[in-house]
DNA sequence: AACTGCTTCAACCGCCCAGCT
DNA sequence: TAGCTGGGCGGTTGAAGCAGT
């Protein structure tokens, strides 16, 4: 589900490579996103500023949650969409860790169908002046794959997200934290020198943790060792003060 | 096995708005 | 006030993956 990389006027388009991600993360971690238009030039990226911003905001930014929407999150999205319409950024503001783009996709691929079908049922109810039982409504959810037959809500997103896609460091941690990852190859990750992207870094970018100590010196730590050490809360691994465009660890 | 249509989501595009000069 | 620039937002698209035939 990715676009074929292409080049136009020296500006790359399409799928981001792990190497490009590494460069972007490394640059923003050290300098912040002071100017998106200028950023690619200084970060050594052949991308337009908008593309960099989008990649960062929707995929690389710390503390992003991916996939597996909870029932509460779905309810909030449905409720707020009913109130606000397609104000995805406002809806996203109510769902920490979710991006407007992701919510928008989730709405179009899952929730819209569900809401539409529920509304159809309501219309039919009105016309026939008879109420559908909760079990009938539940059956619709089952048909749409949002609820299993035993009544337990199932993840809406494809679990392959965690198994096959190139997870960002934060996503890896988020997934482990959420106990979503079981035997994923992306269980550790590292970037030894944020200023220099070595081949080894690119190879290991998605396989070792992105960890910096309080003095900004990069460390290499496996995700499992971080998780096993209660003195290393996740918030210390990645904390980004966006308003100041600075990183604090 | 090959083909076809559908689903999904990352990424792009174009417009709008705010801030600055 | 007008013009310019950068950032943000919502709509749309491209293409891989999947399911059905």
CATH code for the structural domain at A6-60: 1.10.10.60
User: In strand B, which positions have an atom below 7 A from any protein CB?
Assistant: 7-14
User: A208, A189 in Cβ contact below 8 A?
Assistant: yes
The average confidence (pLDDT) of chain A is: 59
What tens digit of pLDDT does each residue of A130-148 get? 444 445 545 545 544 444 3
Residues in chain A: 249
Rounded CA separation A175/A154 (Å): 16
What tens digit of pLDDT does each residue of A215-234 get? 232 333 333 333 333 333 33
**Residue A12, beta-bridge partner list:** A7
Q: Is the CB of A192 under 7 A from strand B?
A: no
If pLDDT is split at 50, 70 and 90, which confidence band does A78 have? confident
What tens digit of pLDDT does each residue of A34-61 get? 888 888 888 888 888 888 888 888 888 8
Rounded CA separation A180/A70 (Å): 13
CATH number for A71-143: choose from 1.10.10.350, 1.10.10.60, 3.40.630.10, 3.30.1360.200: 1.10.10.60
**Predicted pLDDT at A121:** 65
**Predicted pLDDT at A202:** 40
Residue lying closest to nucleotide C14, CA to C1': A3
Would the CA dihedral through A10, A25, A205, A5 be positive or negative? negative
What tens digit of pLDDT does each residue of A4-30 get? 776 666 788 888 888 888 888 888 888
Backbone angles phi, psi at A6, to 5 degrees: -145, 170
3 state SS of A29: helix
What tens digit of pLDDT does each residue of A180-216 get? 333 333 333 333 333 334 444 444 443 443 333 332 3
Q: Is the CB of A94 under 7 A from strand C?
A: no
Angstrom distance, A6 CA to B11 C1': 12
Q: Where in chain A is the domain with CATH 1.10.10.60?
A: 6-60, 71-143
Structure tokens at A38: 């200028």
Q: Is the CB of A58 under 7 A from strand B?
A: yes
């Amino acid at each position: 589900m990715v676009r074929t990389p292409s080049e136009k006027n020296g500006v790359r388009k399409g799928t981001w490579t792990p190497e490009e991600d590494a460069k972007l993360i490394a640059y923003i971690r050290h300098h912040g996103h002071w100017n998106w238009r200028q950023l690619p030039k200084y970060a050594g990226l052949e991308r337009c500023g908008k593309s960099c911003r989008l990649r960062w905001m929707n995929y690389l930014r710390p503390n992003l949650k991916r996939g597996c929407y909870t029932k509460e999150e779905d309810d909030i999205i449905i409720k707020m969409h009913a109130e606000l319409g397609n104000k995805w950024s406002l809806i996203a503001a109510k769902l920490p860790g979710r991006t407007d783009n992701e919510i928008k996709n989730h709405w179009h691929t899952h929730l819209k169908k569900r809401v539409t079908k529920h509304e159809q049922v309501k219309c039919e109810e009105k016309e026939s002046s008879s109420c559908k039982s909760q079990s009938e409504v539940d059956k619709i959810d089952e048909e749409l794959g949002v609820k299993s037959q035993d009544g337990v809500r199932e993840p809406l997103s494809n679990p392959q997200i965690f198994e096959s896609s190139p997870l960002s460091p934060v996503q890896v941690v988020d997934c482990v934290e959420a106990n979503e990852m079981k035997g994923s190859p992306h269980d550790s990750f590292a970037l030894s020198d944020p200023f220099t992207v070595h081949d080894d870094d690119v190879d290991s970018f998605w396989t070792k943790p992105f960890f910096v100590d309080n003095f900004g010196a990069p460390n290499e730590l496996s995700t499992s060792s971080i998780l096993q050490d209660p003195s290393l809360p996740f918030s210390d691994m990645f904390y980004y003060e966006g308003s100041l465009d600075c990183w604090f660890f």
